[in-house]
Chains A and B, each alone.
Chain A
């Protein structure tokens, strides 16, 4: 069973072999390291860029302008902020050219807290990314979705952003990627670079197959009828755990893994909320002008008379940074107990 870093690697390998992906690049993305989270190890088309985020995004835009497909990495989302106007331009190029220049580029970047990453290795980017019109934005919560979403990103003719929850890079899923050996050790021996001298090493790729997770399609990970909890990335797993805990206490919680932040699966949210009458969105980007606020606003506007309780959003605190000490980090990003309390509170609300 692959972890998320291995799943990303396999997707990149699949794409460079089958989709004409020609460049995978960024800081430390090529040999010998293959990415700070090892997600690009063994990739033939991977190369190391200078330490220049704007150079990376600009170059990706130029490559895409010729029609070639590329995946550019920003080493940590914390360092993507100085490229924001280039990201805006990438998102508006097709529109400004009245449909003449599309940019088939993918930007991938690790996001979120959960690894004690301190002030500059804990930022989220989903709320920011949701404001970049012209982009498609995804965030997986497990290796199989990471594989399927990344392949969809690479195939898409528009700019796509693949947000990888850094705390999940070593987490394994429950489902195999088609063609992946079931034995973890076997997979590791095939595609993990050895410690030490790697100059002669080459990955021995399993015969993996195409598997696509479409944009705008969520997934119900827990069925329930009392409340709809929408999340993605690392917090989706926390929501699943909370739903399981609360099931023992008699709560029936429906959890939706949104997977795709823009476009998003409104039909899935809508039919779930019509069933449950209650809505909670959980993510770890900061709370003011959070993407969950948009969903909550929409639930309020379109499903107001079907609601049994006020919709809520649990998100990161609106503080300038995520401090390193666990007391600071845990107070800044949503924790399981907060999710559980919110669910109980919402379920206890009587109109």
Chain B
């Protein structure tokens, strides 16, 4: 990674490569690196990342199958964001309350949660609207996770609202003084919302900076609208720089680069109490959602396959081991689906539960 800042946000050479890759994928593939640089990360760590990335991919592909089988109404998720999401989940300080990290995630966050220990069954229960869904009790879409035990704030459909909300948890963490941070993620198109600017303003007020890792996963799409043609700024990360926030653009398809960047940034935030910003260039491998078909996209980098290839080439993983990893998670996904399928669904009467705490009556007919 190049460390010098340029007139715009710091941007790694590898991030540049990620931008080019879409157009010149074949030539990139032909030019395999002579020596693979894993940034000094241990074999164990690399294999753990790989395993989480595969698990996350298998899970998402399982969700898409469930959708295709007519067992769910809608799919949206994170295939293509594994190299970004997995290191993020591994590095977060997991726990409940302001002494631990808060994560305000968007709907492509399954890799992060898999890395934090999410059970596939719980994702599938959510996908199939089961009453047993521990996130929403069958009330919300796939990947709209809620895990208070790990400080996972509710994933909501309205884009970008998580950014100002995240400032609130960071504010309390600052007061608590236990070096915990708030992490917020979202897409590139959503940054046009004023809420994105709100978070940059709230996080960077002089003397009142917030311990936040503000991030954007730039897949260059908002549903069908291309990034090009919608932005005047060179990089989204430049907007953070304008608020004197430490900011960079990275290749979000390389888990090693992501891991090293996030580790450094998180240490910086915990140490200084100030925010940092990361724009990660990522892929969107099955299009936007089931509404756009959820079909595999061919011309984007597959971060899981690419990382696996590197591990194989470097001799850190054998072909047979890789096969077994995929097969094990496949089997786990099948079992999880069978479990969720057999479970109950929410009852009509349950609409009245949890409008107020303790299900205190909120029905005017009973006032």
Contacts and interface: CB of A to CB of B under 8 A. Distances in A.
Interface of A: 22-23, 50, 52, 54-55, 57-68, 85-86, 89, 93-102, 133-134, 136, 157-158, 216, 262-267, 294, 298
A93 B154 contact: yes
A99 B353 contact: yes
Contact of A96 (B104, B156, B169, B172): B156
B172 A66 contact: yes
16 contacts: A50-B202, A58-B164, A59-B167, A59-B168, A62-B171, A65-B168, A89-B156, A96-B144, A96-B146, A96-B154, A97-B136, A97-B146, A98-B139, A134-B355, A136-B356, A266-B367
Contacts of A101: 146, 148, 153-154
A274 to B, nearest CB: 16
B140 interface: yes
Contacts of B364: 262-264, 266, 294, 298
Interface string B186-228: 0000000011001101100100000000000000000000000
A263 B153 CA distance: 27
B68 to A, nearest CB: 26
A50 B169 CA distance: 17
Q: Which of B165, B172, B194 has the most CB of A within 10 A?
A: B165
Nearest to A50: B201
B107 interface: no
A57 B161 CA distance: 10
Interface in B139-180: 139-140, 144, 146, 148, 153-154, 156, 158, 161, 163-173, 175
Nearest to B162: A58
B198 A60 contact: no
Chain B, interface size category, equals: 35 or more
Nearest to A93: B154
Interface of B: 97-98, 102, 104, 133, 135-137, 139-140, 144, 146, 148, 153-154, 156, 158, 161, 163-173, 175, 182, 194-195, 198-199, 201-202, 205, 353-357, 359, 361-362, 364, 367
Contacts of B148: 97, 100-101
B137 A134 contact: no
Nearest to B354: A99
Nearest to B148: A100
A182 B355 CA distance: 41
Contacts, number: 140
Contacts of A68: 172
Nearest to A99: B354
Contacts of B133: 98
A89 to B, nearest CB: 6
Contacts of A67: 97
A52 B359 CA distance: 33
A58 B205 CA distance: 16
A267 B366 CA distance: 10
**Which of A50, A61, A65 has its CB near the most chain B CB atoms (within 10 A)?**
A65
B357 A102 contact: yes
A95 B133 CA distance: 14
Contact of A55 (B97, B140, B170, B198): B198
A62 B367 contact: no
A54 B195 contact: yes
Given A98-B135, A98-B139, A52 B201 contact: yes
* Nearest 6 interchain pairs by C-beta: A62-B168, A58-B164, A98-B137, A99-B354, A55-B198, A266-B367
A66 to B, nearest CB: 4
Contacts of A60: 168
A115 B97 CA distance: 44
A60 B144 CA distance: 21
A54 B198 contact: yes
Given A52-B201, A65-B168, A266-B364, A133 B355 contact: yes
Given A62-B164, A62-B167, A66-B169, A158 B146 contact: no
A68 B104 CA distance: 17
B169 A63 contact: yes
Nearest to B172: A66
Given A89-B156, A97-B135, A55 B164 contact: yes
B166 to A, nearest CB: 6
